[in-house]
């Protein structure tokens, strides 16, 4: 029962985070409509909030860095709006906001660098921010600004996909706490099965590879949808462009939770039922 609750919590967190990522730019875009700010500015502000959420960590964990999130949300926003109100112009104001965000990420990475390893996810966010500076400098088209998220999603897809063939595929690390159900002995069993069973490893590599493929497919479809709408309908295209990800992630969850991950769970259950603490080979783990 406890394991079922953990799995449901994991799925609920995934859905909640996806919903935030999909809806936040559109919600900000709509809420700021009465201000008369240009569409590109409003979409950039939504993107700034998403970057703040991403670089500060997962909302569902105990390590979410609220101070960094607040700094990432407030400072670039203040810089962007301040520059725009001072008459600097849409494109220049968005570039200033992006530069401020980039400086905050770089400063955070340099702080205590002797005792902390580089946060790869923060570097990914930084890459998106830097790309935003370049792309925003090229065009102030609201659709162009909105399509910036496709770069972030596409790079994330490549990172996830590339991890498939490493010793730590993305979904191995993401799902290990779920499979362990909070039991340290079960977590140790997970590592033993990983070393012993090729079938076990294949499950988590497959789940990781398919997630990477989903993200890459969404990055492409998002651009197609965005540019199928005229610039004046940027708010509507923002919402509709998120629908492919909902469908793709839904299918990914259904297939993997129903048909793929249970195979790994059965192998782990067999390992935990073994009287010996160490599995000999793939035939010992999930024999038959």
Write the pLDDT tens digit of every residue in 26-66: 788 888 989 989 887 888 888 888 778 877 765 545 567 88
- 80-94, 105-119, 190-204, 250-264: range with lowest mean pLDDT: 105-119
Handedness of CA 277, 280, 281, 284 (dihedral sign): negative
As a whole number of angstroms, the distance between CA 242 and CA 223 comes to: 10
Helix (H) or strand (E) holding 1: none
Q: For residue range 207-251, what is the model confidence (pLDDT) as tens digits?
A: 999 999 999 999 999 999 999 998 778 778 877 888 898 899 889
Q: For residue range 60-104, what is the model confidence (pLDDT) as tens digits?
A: 455 678 888 899 999 999 999 999 999 988 888 888 988 898 888
As a whole number of angstroms, the distance between CA 90 and CA 137 comes to: 10
Q: pLDDT-derived band of residue 109, with 50, 70 and 90 as boundaries?
A: confident
Backbone angles phi, psi at 276, to 5 degrees: -95, 150
pLDDT for 20:
73
Name the residue among 277, 213, 283 with its Cα closest to residue 249.
213
- Is pLDDT of 152 > 50? yes
Report percent pLDDT > 70 for the chain. Answer: 76
Terminal-residue alpha carbon distance, the chain: 27
Evaluate whether 6 touches 252 at the Cβ level (below 8 Å).
no
Evaluate whether 124 touches 159 at the Cβ level (below 8 Å).
yes
pTM over 0.85: no
Q: pLDDT-derived band of residue 172, with 50, 70 and 90 as boundaries?
A: very high
Handedness of CA 198, 200, 204, 209 (dihedral sign): positive
As a whole number of angstroms, the distance between CA 281 and CA 113 comes to: 41
Report percent pLDDT > 90 for the chain. Answer: 35
As a whole number of angstroms, the distance between CA 190 and CA 172 comes to: 10
Read off the pLDDT of each residue in 143-149 and give the average, rounded to a whole number: 75
Between helix 170-180 and helix 184-196 the angle, nearest 10°, is 140
pLDDT for 278:
47
Handedness of CA 234, 238, 239, 244 (dihedral sign): positive
Q: How far is CA 127 from the centre of its chain?
A: 14
Helix (H, G, I), strand (E, B), or coil: what is residue 191? helix
pLDDT for 287:
45
Mean pLDDT for the chain overall: 81
């Amino acid at each position: 029962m406890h394991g079922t609750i953990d799995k449901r919590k994991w799925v609920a967190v995934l859905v909640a985070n996806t919903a935030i990522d999909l809806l936040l730019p559109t919600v900000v875009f709509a809420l700021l409509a009465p201000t008369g700010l240009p569409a590109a500015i409003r979409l950039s502000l939504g993107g700034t909030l998403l970057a703040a959420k991403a670089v500060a960590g997962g909302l569902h964990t105990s390590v979410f860095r609220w101070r960094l999130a607040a700094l990432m949300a407030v400072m670039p926003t203040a810089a962007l709006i301040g520059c725009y109100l001072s008459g600097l112009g849409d494109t220049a104001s968005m570039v200033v906001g992006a530069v401020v965000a980039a400086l905050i990420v770089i400063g955070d990475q340099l702080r205590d660098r002797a005792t902390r390893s580089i946060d790869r996810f923060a570097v990914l966010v930084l890459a998106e921010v830097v790309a935003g500076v370049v792309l925003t400098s090229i065009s102030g088209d609201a659709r162009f600004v909105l399509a910036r998220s496709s770069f972030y999603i596409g790079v994330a897809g490549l990172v996830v996909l590339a991890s498939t063939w490493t010793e730590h595929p993305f979904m191995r690390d993401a799902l290990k706490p779920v499979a362990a159900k909070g039991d340290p002995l079960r977590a140790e069993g997970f590592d033993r099965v990983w070393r012993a069973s090729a079938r076990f490893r294949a499950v988590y590599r497959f789940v990781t590879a398919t997630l990477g493929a989903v993200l890459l497919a969404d990055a492409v479809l998002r651009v197609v949808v965005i540019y199928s709408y005229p610039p004046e309908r940027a708010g509507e295209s923002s919402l509709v462009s998120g629908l492919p990800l909902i469908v793709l992630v839904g299918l990914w969850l259904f297939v993997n939770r129903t048909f793929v991950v249970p195979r790994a769970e059965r192998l782990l259950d067999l390992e935990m039922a073994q009287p010996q603490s160490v599995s000999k080979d793939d035939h010992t783990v999930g024999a038959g």
